[in-house]
Structure 1
Amino acid sequence: MPARITTVGFDADDTLWHNERVFRLTQERFAALLADHAEPEHLAARLLAAERRNLGHYGYGIKGFTLSMIETAIEVTNGRVPAPVIGDLLAAGREMLAHPIELLPHARAAVETLAGSHRVVLITKGDLLDQERKLAQSGLGDLFDGVEIVSDKTADRYAEIFARLGDGPARGVMVGNSMKSDVLPMIAAGGWGVHVPHDLVWDLEHAEAPEDGERFCQLDSLEGLGALVDRLG
């Protein structure tokens, strides 16, 4: 018999609340600002390349995204980007950091339901101050038994968190919208990965579903999460 599930981990961005659409809106603004220097598709590719190479320096989140936009603007203008454009990009980053939180459907009910019967933990990556702000605005903070804001999500990191805050990954479930960050590394750690897709996915978070689906589940929304966890044990 499989071990009984005692601990449920939740991703935050685009699992409990909207996030990627704020980045998409800012990227559209970025394209408009640089329209005289690069086509939108070319600019998006250059920005994605900058984000990819900067992850190791700036990590995940809005600040790294803003710096990558500025770097890309300098590149595509051959160093001649007007100072007002840089100012507009900095202002866009600040606006992103102040953007109000909007919970996804069934997010509160899912966390409240599981908090009554399991340990629930928030595990998110990104900028510490921004993630703390979003959690505070969400009104969900008091429901979690632990909050982990990490630089990246790996099998070793999940194993450590679920061992420290739960009864190990074999008795844990990780719920999230990212196959790459929330599902695959949790399964590799020996736990259950539950994929709840979001309409928008950052290009660097794309990954294929696991070929071995023994510890993999997918839901259309968080509405059925409580029943799923009950079925898992």
Structure 2
Amino acid sequence: MSRLSDLYKAMETLRKEGLSLNEDLEHQVTELEENIIKKEILPTVIETIAPALKQVQRELVLVVEYKPGMPISVALSRKTNITELLDAKVLEMDPQVEHRIGSKRMKPVERKNGKTILRVTFPDGTVVEEKKAKVTFANVICRIGLMRVRSLDITFCGVPIVSNTIDSKYGNAQIAVENGLYVMTHSSTHDKKKQLDRISDELNIGLKVEEI
């Protein structure tokens, strides 16, 4: 079961119990829904509609209305500013980063003698420690919450550490997690520790991150 399915189930349980929905829960659902639209639906829509629209010479706005269990309806407007039509958010994929080719690193990479891994302890006593630092890093971010971490807008080498696109240069270092999201792991173990420390501080989680 996906993270989004789990959240839908939690919302339904609260409704059945007559309880109000938690604001953080609604925020997580909204973020995941929007990411699915960006990652899975928009590329298909663009690929299908764009060629057909080329024959239209004037600007327009198409609004797709979706209600679960009902036919999709499409509305057309000649107003090209969508905010004039409705309270809408423009959904886009993370842009591709333009990496310098052949550029030299100005600062030396911080290294420790020998290969190191990460051990991360959560306040409840849960310990995450995998054989590879990148796996620990990705698992910890997933446990914290992908969208919570993504909301911090933390990047490495210009790439969001939680992104909805595969980077042209560092794609091999991005671990696919869930709902079309990728965790950027192109960093040293020491840098991963610093990133987790920052996430812990900004979200007030209280992680103990050790490089061993």
Q: TM-score, normalised by structure 2?
A: 0.25
> Whose helix fraction is larger, Structure 1's or Structure 2's?
1
Structure number with bigger Rg: 2
Higher RCO (C-alpha under 8 Å, 6+ residues apart):
1
